[in-house]
Amino acid sequence: MKALLLVAHGSRREGSNEEVRALARSMAARVDHGFDKVEAAFLELAEPSIPDGLRALIASGAERITVVPYFLSAGRHVVEDIPAEVQKVVAEHPDVAIQVAPYLGTSDVMPELLLGLGARQGSSD
Amino acid sequence: MKALLLVAHGSRREGSNEEVRALARSMAARVDHGFDKVEAAFLELAEPSIPDGLRALIASGAERITVVPYFLSAGRHVVEDIPAEVQKVVAEHPDVAIQVAPYLGTSDVMPELLLGLGARQGSSD
C-alpha cells in the first residue's frame, strides 16, 4: 500500500490547518494518482505531528510513503526539521520505505500557476 | 501597459528572497501570459517593498497591475497586511488600476501539482 503525507508548517489559526486538511482530502479524491491514501500532518502547532501522521499510515498498511512538504522555500524547516521528524519513524520502521519529495516551491508548474491566478483576476478589465 | 507583481513574505535568508525573484523572472519569460512586465516584491525583510515595487512598475508605464500573493494560507498577511500596503499606492495613483488576485493556496491546480511532486519522487520504486 502506497501513501502520501502532505506536510505543512501548522498555524495557531485553526482555519489555516483546516485548509491543509481539506487540500489533502481534495488530493485523495482525484483519480489515478497512484496513492492509496493521502493524509495531512504538521511540523508544529497542529495535529497530527509528522511522526504520528506517518505512524497512522503505517498502522493502516502503508508500505511506501512519500512525504510532500507544503512549503515555498528551502528554509530550515524543509532542510533540517522535516527530515529529522521523518527520520524518527524511519528508525522505528526500517521495513517501510519513506521518502521526502521536493518541496512545493520547486514545482516546474509554479510560474504557470501564478500567471493563471493573475490572469483570472485581470480578465475582468 | 499591464503588469503583475508577485508578492512574497520576505526572509532573513537571502537565498529564499532570490528564489522568489527567480520565480518572477521565470514567469516573465513565459510567452502569451498577457503581462508586459512581471516583478517581485516583499511584505517585509527584503527589497523592494510592496509600495516600492508598485511605484517602479507605474514609473515604467504600468496602467493596470495585478498583485499575486505568494502565500499558502489566508492569515493576517494576506487578509490585512498586503491590502494595506497596496492601498498606500492606490491612494497616490488613483489613475492606475491595481487589483489583488487570490493567494496561491486557493489555486484549483494545487491538488494536482502536489500529487505530481509526490508521484515524481515515488516513481523510482
The residues, any chain, with a CB within 8 Å of residue A110's CB and separated by 6 or more, are: A104, B23, B113
B101: nearest CB among A68, A107, A117 = A117
Query: What letter represents residue A33's amino acid?
Result: H
Tell me which H or E stretch contains B2.
Answer: strand B2-8
Helix ranges (DSSP H) in chain B: 14-29, 50-59, 76, 82-92, 110-122
Q: How far is CA B51 from the centre of its chain?
A: 13
A125 has a pLDDT exceeding 80: no
Cβ neighbours of B75 (radius 10 Å): 18
pLDDT interval class at A123 (50, 70, 90): low
A-chain residues near B4 (CB < 8 A): 114-115, 118, 122
At residue B74, the pLDDT reads 86
CB A64 within 8 A of CB B92: no
- What is the average pLDDT score of chain A? 94
Q: Do A16 and B102 touch (CB under 8 A)?
A: no
Mean pLDDT of B111-118: 95
At residue B120, the pLDDT reads 81
pLDDT interval class at A124 (50, 70, 90): very low
For residue B65, give the C-alpha cell. 497591475
Mean pLDDT of B53-67: 98
Decide if A93 is catalytic.
no
At residue A74, the pLDDT reads 86
At residue B125, the pLDDT reads 46
Q: Model pTM?
A: 0.91
pLDDT interval class at B75 (50, 70, 90): confident
Does A11 contact chain B (CB < 8 Å)?
yes
Query: Which of A114, A124, A125 would best serve as a mutation to test chain B binding (most B beta carbons within 10 A)?
Result: A114
Q: Do A117 and B102 touch (CB under 8 A)?
A: yes
3-state secondary structure (DSSP) of residue B49:
strand
The pLDDT tens digits for B8-47 are 999 999 999 999 999 999 999 998 899 999 999 999 999 9
CA distance A87 to chain B (A): 17
At residue A122, the pLDDT reads 60
Distance between CA atoms of residues B29 and B18, nearest Å: 16
